[in-house]
Amino acid sequence: MVVITKPGEFLIGDNDSKRQVRIDWDFAIASKEVTVDQFSQFKKGFNVDKTYAPTGDCPIISVSWYDAVEYCNWLSEQEGLPKEQWCYEPNKDDLYTEGMTIPADCIHRTGYRLPTEVEWEYACRADAATDFSFGDSEEVLGKYGWIVSNADSQSHPVGTLKANDLGLFDMHGNVYEWCQNKYNPAVKVDQEDAETINDNDSRVLRGGSFNGLPHFVQCAYRDNLVAPTDKYLFNGFRVARTNLK
């Protein structure tokens, strides 16, 4: 996990939608995407298409948003964190499906969770104000990310290419990464109320994938045409947590 201390104000968005936002809390984010092997410890027998994730150190693929948040709670449990610090609450049937809840104080709990959109973009940018964390040049992109031009239509072991300046790997390409947020045209910084999850509400994916063109792996690109139930081949995630002292 890479610890990021109160980023404060910074710019998010592309050239057409840039705006200033503020993060007033410390958080930590995984340096690598969750792998097939890691996810398989949680969901034994989970079916992974080896055409697209040939080895256990490739990122997990074909996971829904619900799968990702359930994994986060499982990880909190594995580390012995008290249940009141877990970041997601199952529905009345004790399932991580429609009707489950993100508590209003989720961001202030110490359990594992998905990064919010603003956390993800800050972590991806690593203080850069350019299209990519390393600048604007698409010529350099292949050193940092697996995309359609170099990935041979499959994901690759996490952490194989260069990290950004914060030490985070695969923020451009390899697999799309689920974020916590429901889609909102204006990226929301935090959550003021508890949220009950609805299957019809689009969630947000970031980072692009091994099948993406350069535009789709830019720091600011948002894929929002996805429901929390969707399990596309390109969907994966990395974990985060609030770093409370």
* Alpha-carbon separation of residue 51 from 42, 69, 75, 76 (angstroms): 22, 25, 27, 31
| Res 18: pLDDT | 74
Contacts of 42 (CB under 8 A, 6+ apart): 70, 71, 74, 75
Place of tokens 């956390």: 119
Q: Please state, in angstroms and rounded to a whole number, the distance separating the CA atoms of residues 238 and 177.
A: 7
Other beta carbons less than 10 A from residue 174's beta carbon: 33
Distance, C-alpha 166 to centroid of its chain: 16
Q: Please state, in angstroms and rounded to a whole number, the distance separating the CA atoms of residues 29 and 26.
A: 10
Residue 186: pLDDT band with limits 50, 70, 90: low
Contacts of 107 (CB under 8 A, 6+ apart): 25, 116, 190, 191, 242
3-class secondary-structure state, position 9 = strand
Helices (H), the chain: 36-42, 65-78, 117-125
Rg of the chain over Cα atoms, rounded to whole angstroms, equals 17
Averaged pLDDT, 141-168? 97
Segment 81-130, tens digit of pLDDT: 999 999 999 999 999 999 999 999 999 999 999 999 999 999 999 989 89
Instruction: Tell me the CA end-to-end span of the chain in Å, nearest whole number.
Output: 16
Segment 121-145, tens digit of pLDDT: 999 999 898 999 999 999 999 999 9
Q: Please state, in angstroms and rounded to a whole number, the distance separating the CA atoms of residues 11 and 21.
A: 6
CATH code for the domain defined by 2-242: 3.90.1580.10
